Amino acid sequence: MKKKFFYVFWNFLKFFIIISIIFVIFFLIFQVLDDLTDFFKYKKPIIFKNYIYTLPLLFVQISPIITILSLMLIISEMIKNNELKVLFISGIKPLYIFSIFLICGFFSSIFTFSVKNFLSPKLIKKVSYQKLQNSIAFSSSNYFFYSDKLYGNKFINVEFSEYLESGEIVTIKAERAENYKDTNWIFINGYFWRFDDNKNLILREKFSIKNVNIPLTAEILSISNIDVEKFSLFQLKKIIKKMVDLKLKPISLITYFNEKISYPLLNFFITFLLYTFLTKSSKISNLYVFSFSFLFFLFIYSIYIFFFSLSKNAKLNPFIGTWIVHFCVLIYFFIINLKKKVLK
């Protein structure tokens, strides 16, 4: 039994690595060619190291089709060489072979999850491209923050107010502000005011540099412009917790948090849909394998993106929107199995 397991698993690993390399290189070349248009048209510089930094993210995005294609090629080869027939005749049940495929799918999911949440965020942060963002306006029951422009963690023309439990109000207006570590801020060239619970001015101070500790971070304030791929699952969880503490419910971020888990796990769940191919007696051509894999990937991906978009825009519960495809796949698998048992 161990030999059969390692035979299937190592073949899957071989196909998985080869297809990953081919697909990533192919999409990388396509991306470079696409950017060449902007280079010639707008003289936009091409920074080649940026493409290297985005390779892990590119792999994550196409990992479902890599997984499907790898598994389908193994099934095709085993049918072509009559290996499945021999295994079934020798008394080995299709479910045992299928369980090995599930392990392969689970391996793909774990590997993709690790790349998406550990390797990719670190490299995306190294991409040499910073965008000057539009004005930031943030408000909650306790805080108000406004900035004309945002460049990284640096805010231009800032106004900040904090409403204390005692009823007092603290207001800061500065030319610049920087969130340099966690909740630690530096305000540069501005004014500090403090008002009592009756809105009477009790303190006024002009400063060149002022260090302030407030429970807001650049990530929270720039939530509408945030590049979620720069953050791992665990970093997103911390940001969401901080926002919940501020009595905010960031539906978009909660959706992305679920996506950090659900998208890699698509590789495992789609394996359930390949069970019917194990019982095929007729040969599967390579053309069928490739065409089915692409069409199947596009179909699953389209459904996933559709429900993901609904969740991100608060039209659907974040958990349901990011996991509904997985549940549908399981339901389909159990219905197919039930039909086969009834027919027997």
Q: How far apart are CA 44 and CA 288, in angstroms?
A: 41
Provide the pLDDT for residue 32.
Answer: 83
Provide the pLDDT for residue 127.
Answer: 84
Provide the pLDDT for residue 41.
Answer: 67
In tens digits, the chain (344 residues) has pLDDT values of 678 888 899 999 999 999 999 999 998 888 888 778 767 766 667 778 888 999 999 999 999 999 999 999 998 888 888 888 787 788 788 888 899 999 999 999 999 999 999 999 999 988 865 555 567 888 777 888 999 877 767 899 999 999 888 899 999 999 999 988 888 999 999 999 999 988 899 999 999 999 999 888 887 887 656 678 989 999 999 888 888 887 777 888 899 999 999 999 999 999 998 887 876 656 677 778 888 888 988 999 999 999 999 998 888 999 999 999 999 999 988 887 766 655 55
Q: pLDDT tens digits, residue range 119-140?
A: 999 999 888 655 555 678 887 7
Provide the pLDDT for residue 248.
Answer: 76
Q: pLDDT tens digits, residue range 283-302?
A: 677 778 888 888 988 999 99
Provide the pLDDT for residue 339.
Answer: 65
Provide the pLDDT for residue 134.
Answer: 67
Q: pLDDT tens digits, residue range 30-50?
A: 888 877 876 776 666 777 888
| Claim: this prediction has a pTM higher than 0.85 | no
| Token pair of 291 as six digits | 């065409």
Nearest alpha-carbon partner for 25 in 60, 55, 48: 55
Pairing of strands 154-163, 136-139: unpaired
| Token pair of 103 as six digits | 């392990």
Number of H helices, E strands in the chain: 11, 6
Provide the pLDDT for residue 43.
Answer: 67
List Cβ neighbours of 188 (8 Å cut-off, separation of 6 or more).
174, 175, 176, 177, 178, 208, 209, 210
Q: How far apart are CA 320 and CA 309, in angstroms?
A: 12
HSE-up of residue 275 (Cα within 13 Å, Cβ side): 21
CA 114 and chain centroid, separation = 11
